[in-house]
Structure 1
Amino acid sequence: MILKHLNLDVFDGDFITVLGSNGAGKSTLFNTIAGTLPPSSGQILHAGSDITGDSVEKRSRFLGRVFQDPKLGTAPRMTVAENLLLATKRGQRRTLALRQLKQNMPAFKQATVSMNNGLSERLNTATENLSGGQRQALSFLMATLRRPDVLLLDEHTAALDPNTSAQLMDQTNKKVLEQKLTCLMITHHLDDALKYGNRLIVLDDGQVKFDVRGKEKDKLTKEKLLSFFGNIA
């Protein structure tokens, strides 16, 4: 049992940075929320409704997720625009219909321009030919294109170089704040955990051992966090 009687309330508009050493339960928490790992006991509630037994597909109607690996979350042989078109249909029943790709191109252009990384000039490029940063930016856009109730960011900048990581984090923060998204973000970067979000939690041994928010989080320093949680950096 990795999660041990974990009880976590996530409120509308929370941007929670999630810290913890390897094996602390971070990915298990996300997999449980997303539905890829059913809990052995307890409940998962969304807007007051019990979704514990709901499938990943059913949860995709209100949940978006970006993984650490840029290769996950996109179809490699489909173009950027085709991937974005798939994202517009997230959680919907698939039926035989015209793709309507051409009609959506102006909206896709506008969405990709916001990432400031050249993705807008590659709408007709196969995703497998993008850089890692562009592919991860595409995954992020796909996860947020239809505003999710819950956004899970699973170390989504960890595989990128420092400059690309900082750029994506800046765009992530802007999108979360502009759309007032409810977001949980796993990170191993203490600076990012302190800089972004209104709330910070530390997982250890499958439990939430530290939960700080608002002005209390603003006062938190890297040194104080390290002294509480040892060498998680």
Structure 2
Amino acid sequence: MTKTDTPLISLNHIVTKVNTGTPNEVMILRHLDLDIYDGDFITVLGSNGAGKSTLFNTISGELPVDAGTISLKGQDITTMTVEKRTAFLARVFQDPKMGTAPRMTVAENLLLASQRGKRRTLRLRRLKQQLPHFKALTATMNNGLTERLNTATENLSGGQRQALSFLMATEQHPDLLLLDEHTAALDPKTSAELMHQTNQRVTEENLTCLMITHHLDDALKYGNRLIVLDQGQVKFDVRGAEKAELTKEKLLSFFDIIE
């Protein structure tokens, strides 16, 4: 983590509800506070219903905030639209089918990602000029994606498609990367390979990242910081040397306490 006293993203006393104004109204995030610093790689744990996906949907703007504020570099973005947030935020979902255009080729998807957050104008695609870069980029995944640049994304394997989603999300070096159980739908071998590449890219490029996972081993192995959500609040936040010393047994005992 970069040494700075100023958070990149701050969530202050966030309340997020679903089914607002109906008999089924439920408060998911309950006055949640979270500061995310430049260069943080945070693994996010929590039981079902703890608020993990709601946290991501709130940060990305998919869900409105009922109370509290969200700031980016000191600027209030609480009411900023989803579209405007794509200028600084990218997300990879659990489902490999999300995040890519199925009928577009791998190269066309990467070209689209290269324009994320930029002003759209009528101009030539310049796809051919970008192919050397796309070949080098896909080669980092070591999964045959380089040979499939002209293949429609819908014809890729699940692992290749998820690797493409990850490359698209990180192509423009977003201020914040949200990984929403991005390896959960993959087989163990493919999942491990994508996690290795994820860690390498996030670390080498000093990306600020939140990663939801149900795998305690991954939560302990990756990142400089680990948080546990429970009943819509951050109940456990450990980083640096303290995180490095954390064991699976200690983490499991903590879950026993909050459950």
- Shorter-chain TM-score bucket reads over 0.9
Distance in 1 (CA, whole Å) between partners of 2:76 and 2:139 is 38
Distance in 2 (CA, whole Å) between partners of 1:109 and 1:138 is 12
**Which of 14, 17, 28 pairs up with 1:2?**
28
What letter corresponds to residue 151 of structure 1 in structure 2?
L
**Which of 214, 224, 227 pairs up with 2:250?**
224
Q: Provide Cα deviations, 1:46-72, integer angstroms capped at 9, x if missing partner.
A: 111111111111010111100000000
What letter corresponds to residue 81 of structure 2 in structure 1?
S
Q: How does 1:1-233 map to 2 (within 5 A)?
A: 1-230=27-256
**What TM-score do the two structures reach when normalised by structure 1?**
0.98
Please list every run of 5 or more consecutive structure 2 residues that lacks an aligned counterpart in the other structure: 1-26
User: What CA RMSD, in Å, does the superposition of the two structures yield over aligned residues?
Assistant: 1.0
Q: What percent of counterpart residues are identical? A: 78
Please list every run of 5 or more consecutive structure 1 residues that lacks an aligned counterpart in the other structure: none
SS of 1:5 mapped into structure 2: strand
SS of 2:193 mapped into structure 1: helix
C-alpha displacement of 1:231: 9.7
SS of 1:191 mapped into structure 2: helix
Distance in 1 (CA, whole Å) between partners of 2:68 and 2:168 is 31
C-alpha displacement of 1:94: 1.8
C-alpha displacement of 1:91: 1.1
Q: With CA pairs under 8 Å and 6+ residues apart, which has the higher RCO, 1 or 2? A: 1
What letter corresponds to residue 110 of structure 1 in structure 2?
A
**What TM-score do the two structures reach when normalised by structure 2?**
0.88
